Chains A and B, each alone.
Chain A
Amino acid sequence: MTAAMSHPAVFFDGMLLFILFCIAALMLFSVAFGALAIKYRRQNDRMAARWARLEAEWEPLVVAVLDGDRTAEDMAAHVDRKDRLYFVDFLTRFAKRLRGETRDQLDALALPYLDAVGAHLTYPAPAQRARAVQALGLLGFTHFADRLVTALDDESPLVAMLAARALSRRDHPQYVGAVIDRLYRFDNWSPRFLASMLAAVGPDAVPQLRTAYADSARPPQTRAVAAEALRWLNDIPAVDIAARVLEEEFERERPGDAPPTPANREETAGDDALNARRDLAASSLRLLRNLGRPEHARKARDLCASPDFVVRAFALRALGRIGDASDVSRLEGALEDESVWVVLHAAHALRELGAETKLRDIAARPHPRADIARQVLAEGVGS
């Protein structure tokens, strides 16, 4: 037994001292933490006030330079070396709002400051590299395009995506090939978003999009995005590529075939390879539907019995546009499909062909798909 424990008064005095010490330490810690928070807050406020002051000083000067009333040299006298990056950030706000001659003047005004931004492309923090890519894409594209192409291979997918967006420009279609080559890096992005990015390049992108779409060595996701972009660009010759892709990639899958992956189940999220193939089939069938001619209907008919419900659904939907009266019985049969998506697309196709008899019949009686039939018929009334 220790001496302290043998004398309770000494023991409790020791405990009391310890508790008082802990309380004092906690209070000290709280005061120190509070002081630090106040210090950072004040620092931030000072910085924000300084930036607001700088912006107020720069804005009229920038406007005057853009209008030719002042020169870039006049402006340089008001931009401290340590404020160069912030000044470029400030100019990007103008860049997003302007085009034409004034925009060209803005680029010229920004140019002397962009080397400092370019240095950020190699910084370790992805956020800094991303910011640099954005600024260079907006204000220094012609001077920094090669570095933006390099940024397509940045280890950060976000930086790579910003570079891809910066390089997908109608006025510089020569970079679209480099973007298409890196599409495999963006498989977490929506194919529709990627297609819209590529379609924004315009008709000059078409030859490279066609080549990528037809190339079976490319990842299915890349081909699907290329097909979608071609559809948005209304590229009629792409329909023949679509027919070939469907024949080569999907017609071999016959009803009763074991799907390569659990293809006939609808709960297959997470299977990237399967989803990429489905995207390719869906994009190809959408191309047929939107731009195809009646002779392309055969390709869609061949796929109406695919083991994959996604392929079946889009094949049936295509028939609504490029099919004819001979497809009605096929579509009516698909109203009994085990997949609700197939039923929905078949119902839409029937409505598009003006063959609603069976849909009305199902809608009017107790039937597992009566809700879908009613929904599609109601949409027809509204449209």
Chain B
Amino acid sequence: MCPAGQASQAQKKKIIVGDDDELITAVLRHRLEKGGYEVVVASDGDEVVSLAEKGGVAAIVLDVKMPGRDGLDALRRLRALPATQHVPIAMLSGKGSESDIVKGIEMGADDYIVKPFSVLEVVARIRRLLKRTA
């Protein structure tokens, strides 16, 4: 059960989780919805961009490796769109090398989370990003 205050504090902000891994999206969706967020799942970069273009997105979690348009490409596109250029984006990736993280941040990501990840940590980081941009 989620604390009543938590949901109202989050005011059902919409978060897009872009990852083709169903297990990851299932775990994140459950935890984020429990935290009072509305979660929309996309399985490739194009879907993330088209969902985000519609507006009303509070944050995006984006896997680097996805079929079709990959996460970094989607990130570049999102940063070029007026509707999404200021939306906080956290990248998820199995690549944890310094250069990969720097590349993601330099391309406009607000955070970079390396897999395997702690679900609680991901949610806390998203909450922090949302607070920062509120």
Contact = CB atoms under 8 A, between A and B. Distances in A.
Contact of A98 (B30, B34, B119): B119
Nearest first, the 4 closest Cβ-Cβ pairs linking A and B are A100-B118, A99-B116, A102-B119, A63-B30
Interface in B29-56: 30-31, 34
Contacts of A99: 116-118
A64 interface: yes
Contacts of B30: 60, 63-64, 67, 69
Contacts of A144: none
Contact of B24 (A60, A66, A97, A103): A97
Contacts of B31: 67
A181 to B, nearest CB: 29
B27 A98 contact: yes
B21 interface: yes
B117 A63 contact: no
A341 interface: no
Contacts of B34: 67, 69
Nearest to B116: A99
Interface in B98-116: 115-116
Contact of B120 (A59, A63, A69, A101): A101
A59 B26 CA distance: 8
A131 B9 CA distance: 46
Contacts of B27: 63, 66, 94, 97-98, 102
Interface residues of A, number: 17
A171 to B, nearest CB: 13
A59 B23 contact: yes
Interface residues of chain B: helix, strand, loop or mixed (majority): helix
Contacts, number: 49
B120 A100 contact: yes
Interface of A: 59-60, 63-64, 66-67, 69, 93-94, 96-103
Contact of B26 (A63, A100, A101, A102): A63
A198 B25 CA distance: 33
Contacts of A98: 27, 116-119
Given A67-B30, A67-B34, A100 B119 contact: yes
Contacts of A102: 27, 118-120
A67 B26 CA distance: 11
B116 A97 contact: yes
A97 B23 CA distance: 8
26 contacts: A59-B23, A60-B30, A66-B27, A66-B119, A67-B31, A69-B34, A93-B23, A94-B23, A94-B27, A97-B23, A97-B115, A97-B116, A98-B27, A98-B118, A99-B116, A99-B117, A100-B120, A100-B121, A101-B118, A101-B119, A101-B120, A102-B27, A102-B119, A102-B120, A103-B116, A103-B118
Given A60-B30, A101-B118, 19 more contacts: A59-B23, A60-B26, A63-B26, A64-B30, A66-B27, A67-B31, A93-B23, A94-B23, A94-B27, A97-B21, A97-B27, A97-B115, A98-B27, A99-B118, A100-B117, A100-B120, A100-B121, A102-B120, A103-B118
Contacts of A96: 116
A258 B118 CA distance: 59
